């Protein structure tokens, strides 16, 4: 692919559309507003705090990423969203209980004005919740057209010049791609027939992509990860990315596993368990939704450790992931990892990781970075799957036939090299021989 010859400037407002206005979405919106008011710092966000080295180590050129590439500014962001519940963003944030009431009070007026549009919802895909704020059309195609209409109306009322959608809705039941997802034509026919393999998240994806709006998928459900939508993204010149935000336990896994492999340490087993008590945890009690999450969480180790290349180190690895709903913890998830490794002469050792994290505090800056980078990609004319954003995902989407990169440090290098490439700077290979000539 040719380097973009021109990146359109980030002029005017950027509208962020969020299907699902729960814990992650409201923590993200509240956070952006608190940062805009100068009342908090955007910790965890590469676009706001990260720097990028350009040229040689001796050149002393390390601008902030936000000054190097033309990103939208926080002051230009406006928000919209959909949810099955009627709560406005303030009520939903208060209910999620992630941010304390003092912080929420500072943005109460702002959040209260963000009211959810009616959701396209199918109870078969999210079994453990139900809400009144849903579309009534007679089939899934009508719902999808209504979403398109919502997008057009939001574009007009918010006066946004550009839009990005980021799925922050509940995790839907596990689904494998099938015939109805294979082409745009079959997908439309299936929507009209209310086919059971068309999930609501796919309707938001279809509506966004056919409206020319980039789409990121923060959950493990397929959504935009099907050939029909990918073809539409390509044909409509729309950037897409997914899937499943990489926040706590998998972030740690994709830091530790590359270290074991780099040092040729063996792995006998990795047992990961989580307790959490937010709505996400409640939804994941359903075996269908859990399966989507489990698949997404299991993939990383296999790809990083490559047992087919190192059978004596990794082929017998036992990997287990558990998630339990435990209401007292709310959004403050505890993720335990017991890792059985072995070293020189096969002698066993153990590592224990106990991450007392805050799920939505980790996810919110990811949403911000993703929407800003997708808007950048869109203005640069980069269409289809944006693999350079793998850094943010548990199950990175790739071109067919390509295995995903899960190693956080490879992903970080890929992201920064893509920014250098977009701006016509030399890529950094870390060879460094020139310093010794
Ligand atoms: N927080 C994290 O660390 C993290 C990490 C990875 C992925 N995720 C994923 O992000 C998503 C959001 O997480 P959360 O903690 O905000 O969950 P949440 O339950 O607080 O919010 C999800 C919201 O989506 C709404 N919803 C469900 N189906 C919908 C539909 N069809 N249309 C519109 N709205 C719908 C629900 O009513 C709910 O308010 C989940 O899928 C979760 O698995 C979160």
DSSP for 74-133, written as a single string: GGGEEEEEEESS---HHHHHHHHT-S-HHHHHHTHHHHHT--PEEB---TTTSTT---S-
Taking a C-beta distance cutoff of 8 angstroms, is the pair 158, 13 a contact? yes
Radius of gyration of the chain measured on its C-alpha atoms = 22
Looking at 322, 356, 390, the residue that finishes a domain is: 356
Whether residues 101 and 58 share a domain: the answer is yes
Residue closest by Cα to atom 29 of ligand 1: 169
What's 281's domain CATH number? Answer: 3.30.360.10
In a domain, 122, yes or no: yes
Whether residues 414 and 349 share a domain: the answer is no
The residue assigned the tokens 């890529």 is 427
Q: What are phi and psi of 104, to 5 degrees?
A: -65, -35
In a domain, 4, yes or no: no
Cα-to-centroid distance, 218 and ligand 1 (Å): 8
Q: Which atom of ligand 1 is nearest to the CA of 96?
A: 20
Whether residues 44 and 80 share a domain: the answer is yes
Whether residues 95 and 225 share a domain: the answer is yes
Looking at 313, 337, 356, the residue that finishes a domain is: 356
Taking a C-beta distance cutoff of 8 angstroms, is the pair 362, 265 a contact? no
* Cα angle 257-259-264, degrees, rounded to a multiple of 5: 95
Taking a C-beta distance cutoff of 8 angstroms, is the pair 173, 200 a contact? no
Q: Phi-psi region for residue 257, left (φ > 0), alpha (ψ -120 to 50) or beta? A: alpha
Domain membership of residue 267 as a residue range: 249-356
**What's the confidence (pLDDT) of residue 125?**
86
Q: Which atom of ligand 1 is nearest to the CA of 92?
A: 39
Counted domains in the chain: 2
- Dist CA 246 CA 267 (whole Å): 22
Cα-to-centroid distance, 167 and ligand 1 (Å): 8
Handedness of CA 156, 157, 159, 161 (dihedral sign): negative
Cβ of 218 below 6 Å from ligand 1: yes
- Dist CA 96 CA 221 (whole Å): 22
In a domain, 196, yes or no: yes
Cα-to-centroid distance, 263 and ligand 1 (Å): 38
In a domain, 335, yes or no: yes
Cα-to-centroid distance, 23 and ligand 1 (Å): 7
Name which of 349, 346, 260 is nearest 306 in CA terms: 260
**What's the confidence (pLDDT) of residue 261?**
96
pTM higher than 0.85, yes or no? yes
What is the best residue among 20, 250, 355 to mutate for testing ligand 1's pocket, by most ligand atoms within 8 Å of CB? 20
Cα-to-centroid distance, 4 and ligand 1 (Å): 34
What's 151's domain CATH number? Answer: 3.40.50.720
Strand-strand pairing, 318-325 and 160-167: unpaired
Whether residues 21 and 50 share a domain: the answer is yes
Encoding tokens for residue 376? 């950048």
Whether residues 233 and 110 share a domain: the answer is yes
Whether residues 89 and 149 share a domain: the answer is yes
Q: What are phi and psi of 270, to 5 degrees?
A: -140, 110
Cα-to-centroid distance, 152 and ligand 1 (Å): 24
Per-residue pLDDT of the chain (437 residues; tens, 9 = 90+): 677 778 999 999 999 999 999 999 999 999 999 999 999 999 999 999 999 999 999 999 999 999 999 999 999 999 999 999 999 999 999 999 999 999 999 999 999 999 999 999 988 888 888 899 999 989 999 999 999 999 999 999 999 999 999 999 999 988 899 999 999 999 999 999 999 999 999 999 999 999 999 999 999 999 999 999 999 999 999 999 999 999 988 999 999 999 999 999 999 999 999 998 888 788 888 888 888 777 777 788 989 999 999 999 999 999 999 989 999 988 888 999 999 999 999 999 999 999 999 999 999 999 999 999 999 999 999 999 999 999 999 999 999 899 999 999 999 999 999 999 999 999 999 888 889 98
- Helix, strand, or coil here: 340? strand
In a domain, 434, yes or no: no
**What's the confidence (pLDDT) of residue 297?**
73
Looking at 324, 341, 356, the residue that finishes a domain is: 356
Whether residues 32 and 128 share a domain: the answer is yes
In a domain, 160, yes or no: yes
- Dist CA 5 CA 361 (whole Å): 37
- Dist CA 54 CA 324 (whole Å): 45
In a domain, 152, yes or no: yes
Taking a C-beta distance cutoff of 8 angstroms, is the pair 349, 338 a contact? no
Cβ of 279 below 6 Å from ligand 1: yes
Q: Omega of the bond prior to 244 within 30 degrees of 0, cis?
A: no
- Dist CA 217 CA 226 (whole Å): 12
In a domain, 431, yes or no: no
Cα-to-centroid distance, 259 and ligand 1 (Å): 32
Q: Omega of the bond prior to 139 within 30 degrees of 0, cis?
A: no
- Dist CA 53 CA 420 (whole Å): 9
What is the best residue among 18, 25, 170 to mutate for testing ligand 1's pocket, by most ligand atoms within 8 Å of CB? 170
Cβ of 202 below 6 Å from ligand 1: no
Whether residues 287 and 222 share a domain: the answer is no
Taking a C-beta distance cutoff of 8 angstroms, is the pair 277, 329 a contact? yes
Whether residues 128 and 212 share a domain: the answer is yes
Handedness of CA 160, 120, 292, 402 (dihedral sign): negative
Residue closest by Cα to atom 38 of ligand 1: 22
Cβ of 24 below 6 Å from ligand 1: yes
Whether residues 313 and 374 share a domain: the answer is no
């Amino acid at each position: 692919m040719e380097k973009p010859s021109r990146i359109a400037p980030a002029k005017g407002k950027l509208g962020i559309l969020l299907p699902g206005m729960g814990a992650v979405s409201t923590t993200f919106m509240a956070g952006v507003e608190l940062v805009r008011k100068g009342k908090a710092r955007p910790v965890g966000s590469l676009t706001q705090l990260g720097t990028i080295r350009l040229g040689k180590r001796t050149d002393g050129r390390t601008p902030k990423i936000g000054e190097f590439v033309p990103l939208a500014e926080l002051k230009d962001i406006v928000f919209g969203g959909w949810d099955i519940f009627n709560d406005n963003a303030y009520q939903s944030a208060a209910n999620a209980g992630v941010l304390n009431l003092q912080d929420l009070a500072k943005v109460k007026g702002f959040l209260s004005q963000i009211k959810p549009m009616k959701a396209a919802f199918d109870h078969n895909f999210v079994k453990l919740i139900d809400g009144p704020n849903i579309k009534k059309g007679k089939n899934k195609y009508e719902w999808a057209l209504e979403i398109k209409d919502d997008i057009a109306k939001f574009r007009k009322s918010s006066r946004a010049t550009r839009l990005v959608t980021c799925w922050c809705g509940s995790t839907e039941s596990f689904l494998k791609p099938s015939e109805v997802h294979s082409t745009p034509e079959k997908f439309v026919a299936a929507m009209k027939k209310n086919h059971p393999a068309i999930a609501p998240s796919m309707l938001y994806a279809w509506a966004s992509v056919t409206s020319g709006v980039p789409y990121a998928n923060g959950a493990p459900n397929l959504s935009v990860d099907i050939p029909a939508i990918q073809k539409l993204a390509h044909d409509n010149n729309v950037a897409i990315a997914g899937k499943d935000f990489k926040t706590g336990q998998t972030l740690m896994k994709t830091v530790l596993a590359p270290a074991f492999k780099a040092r040729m340490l063996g792995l006998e087993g990795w047992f990961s368990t989580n307790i959490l008590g937010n709505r996400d945890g409640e939804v994941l009690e359903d075996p269908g939704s859990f399966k989507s999450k489990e698949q997404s969480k299991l993939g990383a180790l296999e790809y990083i450790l490559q047992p087919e290349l190192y059978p004596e180190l990794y082929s017998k690895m036992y990997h287990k992931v558990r998630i339990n709903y435990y209401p007292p913890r709310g959004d403050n998830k505890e993720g335990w990892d017991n890792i059985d490794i072995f070293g020189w002469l096969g002698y066993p050792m153990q590592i224990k990781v106990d991450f007392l994290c805050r799920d939505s505090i980790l996810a919110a800056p990811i949403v911000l970075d993703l929407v800003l980078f997708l808007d950048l990609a869109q203005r640069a004319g980069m269409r289809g799957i944006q693999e350079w954003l793998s850094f943010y995902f548990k199950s990175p989407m790739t071109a067919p036939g390509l295995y995903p990169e899960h190693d956080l440090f490879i992903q970080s290098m890929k992201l920064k090299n893509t920014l250098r490439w977009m701006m016509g700077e030399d890529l950094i290979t870390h060879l460094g021989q020139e310093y010794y000539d």
